[in-house]
Each structure stands twice: as C-alpha cells, then as structure tokens.
Amino acid sequence: MISYLESDTEGKKRICQALIDAKALIFGKIIPSINTSPFYVETRWLFSNPQTLKVITEEMGKIVKQLDVNLIAGCEFAGVPLASTLSLETNLPAVYLRKKPKEYGSKSAIVGKVSGSRALLVDDASGRGVGKEQFAKHLEDAGVKVTDMVVIYWTGHPLVPWYQEHGVRHHQLIKFEDFAHYARDVGYISPRLHGMIWDWWKDYNIEKRAFDFKRWDMVFTQAKAEGFEIFNEQQPYEELVADSKRLGKWIEPPDGEYEYLN
C-alpha cells in the first residue's frame, strides 16, 4: 500500500471552512466524475475568491514541501490555477497539461518549459482518479516521471490500479467525510441533512443508490428547507440518467445490485 499525505487537523478545518465560505456544497441533478448524485462539492468555486484560494495554496504547499519533486504540473482545467499559485508558494517551476496535444502550432500537450525529472500532478478533486495517466504520459514522453499527485478533495472512493502499479502517491487536503462532518459540527447543515448525505456516501458505493429517485427527492426536500438552491430541479430523472450514460459517467454497482428505500 502506497502511503499518502493530507492536511493536519487545523488545516482540514481551514479547507472545510473555505468550502463553506465559497458555498461549494451544491444540490441538484448533477453529473460529477464518479456518477450521478443529488449533491456535489464544487471545489473550483474556491478559485474565484483570493482569500479562499490563498488558504488552499498554503495548505497544499505544506504537502508539496514534504515531497521529493522538482516540477509542478497542473492538469487541465482546474489544476492550472493551482499549479500557478503553488509555484509561487513553493518556488518550484510549473507547467500546464492539456488532455490532448494542441492541434496546431507547438502540437504539444505541455504548456510551458519542462524542467526537472520528478513531477507532481495537481488537480482540484479526485473520485477514483481516472484519466490522470494520460497527463503522466505527456510528461513521460518529455523525460519526466510523475511520482505524486495532490488534490484539494478526494471522495474516498478506491483509486484505479494505475496509481499502485506506477508507484504514484495520491495526496489530498481533505476527504469527503472531513467536509461532511465539519459542515454538521459547525451548523452549516443540520444533523438530518448530514445523515442523508453520509448515508448516501458512507460505503463509497454511491452507484447502487443512483436509481433511488425517492431518496433523491428526500435529500432535495431537506436541502431546500435549509435554504439551499436545487440545480436542474426540473430535469426529468430519466433524462439525467440518459445524459450520464451518454457522457460516459454512469457506473454500474460493483455487484450489479441497486438499492432502494422501503
């Protein structure tokens, strides 16, 4: 098992409060990277406020300074602003990675001048960490090995085998449970709404509840009672599922069994 780093207790509190200040907990008919869900932590909203971005940069910088890396590589798109601020915080050089090489001009997937031999991938969040191998491949083609990755927020879902197979350590400032429990403890969400969210997520197998639209409606009713807006509320559930499958975001439960409330 590859060891990983995360923020200390006070650092986690800073990150969680920054997410609350940014109103990053959103509810609605949402298609994140791991599967459809009635709620989502929108970490990218942290970038719009200099104060919350400063908190993220400082806490992420504490982790980066413990790593044996000499290049920061920001993943398209959310990793780009983080790589820039981290470069200033750590005094390490940075490059930015496209998902695909540019089709004209340099025809490169790397933006910036490559230096060093050991790189850190930077992004805002991870579910299972799918797709990061393509960014690592761009750097490997340039003679740089990716040894570590760091994100603000990890859902806690099991990572794809690529990390273990290639010796890439995955670090995060917080996991989903850190934020959910902190939001309850400071009164941002009620114990009832926290219970609904945590019940959805606690076994990191949200796929099996994706078709339980009764459960979705219960979450939305409670969230609205606590003042949250519901995004895309009028979209039919059938359309949401179809969109998720069309975009390649739908994931079947590992055992093929779906769960429904009685």
Tens digit of pLDDT for each residue in 128-175? 888 899 999 999 999 999 999 999 999 888 899 999 999 999 999 999
Write down the pTM of the prediction.
Answer: 0.92
Q: How far is CA 65 from the centre of its chain?
A: 21
Residue 255 — very low, low, confident or very high, per pLDDT cuts 50/70/90?
Answer: confident
According to DSSP, residue 120 is labeled E
Residue 199's closest CA among 39, 41, 65?
39
Question: How confident is the prediction for the chain on average, in pLDDT?
Answer: 93
pLDDT at 2: 60
Single-letter amino acid code for the residue at 81: P
C-beta separation of 259 from 209 below 8 A: yes
Question: How do beta strands 118-126 and 145-154 pair?
Answer: parallel
Tens digit of pLDDT for each residue in 171-189? 999 999 999 999 999 999 9
**Environment class of 191 (CB within 10 Å of its CB; exposed 0-12, middle 13-18, buried 19+):** exposed
Please say if the pLDDT value at position 1 is more than 60.
no
Determine how many CB atoms are found less than 10 A away from the CB of residue 250. 16
Tens digit of pLDDT for each residue in 17-37? 999 999 999 999 988 766 788
